[in-house]
Amino acid sequence: MKPVHFALIAAAAAIACTSPAFADEALAKAKKCTICHAVEKTKVGPSYQAIAKKYAGQKDAEVKLATSILKGATGNFGTNPMPPNAGVSEADAKTLAAWILSLK
């Protein structure tokens, strides 16, 4: 196998292994979640890592997060309310919640 072929195969494998995380971050950007949230730092709302840490080990964490995304929440991370995101489907909310929880 030529070195170029090996490099292309290795690059394709790396992209395939990391694309779900990028896809879910892309979904968060597309649904405007990143206006208030970031992966590592607090903006208007808590970082995704802080959310993952708070809900780590809770059986119903994914359901709670998906519900907060869909219906909004108040008081989970201070006094700033999180408004409901009407542009997010239930399936997308579950995808986003699972991605956030993976960021421990």
Give the per-residue pLDDT at 77.
92
Give the per-residue pLDDT at 104.
79
pLDDT by 10s per residue, the chain, length 104 = 555 444 444 444 444 444 445 569 999 999 999 999 999 999 999 999 999 999 999 999 999 999 999 999 999 899 999 999 999 999 999 999 999 999 97
Reading the block at residue 34, the tokens are 């990143």
Reading the block at residue 62, the tokens are 């994914």
Give the per-residue pLDDT at 72.
96
Q: What is the CA radius of gyration of the chain?
A: 16
Give the per-residue pLDDT at 81.
94
Q: Are residues 70 and 20 in contact, defined by beta-carbon separation less than 8 angstroms? A: no
CA trace torsion 31, 35, 37, 43 (10° rounding): -170
Q: Are residues 72 and 83 in contact, defined by beta-carbon separation less than 8 angstroms? A: yes
Domains and CATH numbers, the chain: 20-101 (1.10.760.10)
Q: Where are the alpha helices (H) located in 1-104, listed in sequence order?
A: 3-30, 48-55, 61-71, 90-101
